[in-house]
Amino acid sequence: MRIGTIAVRAALSPAASHITDKEIQESLWHYYYDVEKSVAYLVSKYVAKPKAQKKEKTQGEKNLQGGLISFIGGSAADAGRGIGKSAGGGLPFVYTKALPEHVYS
C-alpha cells in the first residue's frame, strides 16, 4: 500500500498536493492498486478544472434552448396528444415540438 501511495503521489501534479494519503489509499484500494486509474480518478475528483467561458448564443439557439421533445402518436390528428399508433402498418407517428425557454430554467 505504501509503495502504491508513493507511486500515485509521484504521478500527481503539483496542483494535487492537497490530496491526502488516505484519499490516495482509498482510490488504490478501489482500483485494485492500479496507479494510473487511481491518478485519473483523483485528478478528476480533487483537482479544480478551469471554468469554461460562456459563448453568446445565436437567435436560433435561443429558440431551441428548452430542447426538443418527441411524442409518439397515432396519426397527424393525435400528434398533439402524443398517444396511439399510426393507422398504417402499426408504426408509431413521431411528433417533435420545440419547448419554450422557461421549461428547463
Segments making up each domain of the chain, as ranges: 2-46, 59-104
3-state secondary structure the chain: CHHHHHHHHHHCCHHHCCCCHHHHHHHHHHCCCCHHHHHHHHHHHHCCCCCCCCCCCCHHHHHCCCCEEEEEECCCCCCCCCCCCCCCCCCCEEEEEECCHHHHC
pLDDT score for 72: 45
Per-residue pLDDT of the chain (105 residues), as tens digits, is 999 999 999 999 998 999 999 999 999 999 999 999 999 999 999 987 777 677 666 655 555 554 444 444 444 454 455 444 445 555 555 555 666 666 555
CB–CB of 27/41 below 8 Å?
Answer: yes
- Give the C-alpha separation, 3 to 63, whole Å: 56
Cell of 57: 448564443
